[in-house]
Amino acid sequence: DAKTTQPPSMDCAEGRAANLPCNHSTISGNEYVYWYRQIHSQGPQYIIHGLKNNETNEMASLIITEDRKSSTLILPHATLRDTAVYYCIVRVVNQAGTALIFGKGTTLSVSS
């Protein structure tokens, strides 16, 4: 069973920020939050991950609440190429025998 809850779909105007929420109320202290996305029929692509602190890279920012029960992925200036299914996943790093378990994700549609 997926440990995260995401809205099934979201819309965003091109050039605006896309804020994708994720609930993970049962997250354990040693579990990280990962975000991946899958652009139509392609292989999933890693975006970002974090444990407690907010993280930023060239693709996105990850905001994790203080209690770690939810997080938000922010794409600061969405483009049409950001249209994809976005997956929020919790996982223990460095634990042998654990794979990424994908839920249904959020389908983000960016329109002009």
Partner 1 sequence: NAGVMQNPRHLVRRRGQEARLRCSPMKGHSHVYWYRQLPEEGLKFMVYLQKENIIDESGMPKERFSAEFPKEGPSILRIQQVVRGDSAAYFCASSDGNTGELFFGEGSRLTVL
Residues of the shown chain interacting with partner 1 in the complex, contacts defined by CB under 8 A: 32, 34, 36, 38, 41-46, 49, 87, 91, 93-94, 96-105
**Phi/psi at 101 (nearest 5 deg)?**
-110, 115
Considering the complex, state which of residue 77 and residue 104 has its C-beta at the smaller distance from partner 1: 104
The number of angstroms, rounded, from the C-alpha of 32 to the middle of its chain's C-alpha atoms is: 11
Q: How far is the CB of 101 from partner 1 (least distance, A)?
A: 6
Considering the complex, state which of residue 16 and residue 57 has its C-beta at the smaller distance from partner 1: 57
Say which amino acid occupies 87: Y
Q: How far is the CB of 14 from partner 1 (least distance, A)?
A: 26
Using an 8 Å Cβ cutoff, are 51 and 66 in contact?
no
CA distance 77 to 51: 24
According to the 3-state scheme, what is the secondary structure of 27-52? CCCCEEEEEEEECCCCCCEEEEEECC
Considering the complex, state which of residue 14 and residue 59 has its C-beta at the smaller distance from partner 1: 59
Q: How far is the CB of 36 from partner 1 (least distance, A)?
A: 8
Structural Rg of the chain based on CA atoms: 13
Considering the complex, state which of residue 13 and residue 39 has its C-beta at the smaller distance from partner 1: 39
Q: How far is the CB of 65 from partner 1 (least distance, A)?
A: 21
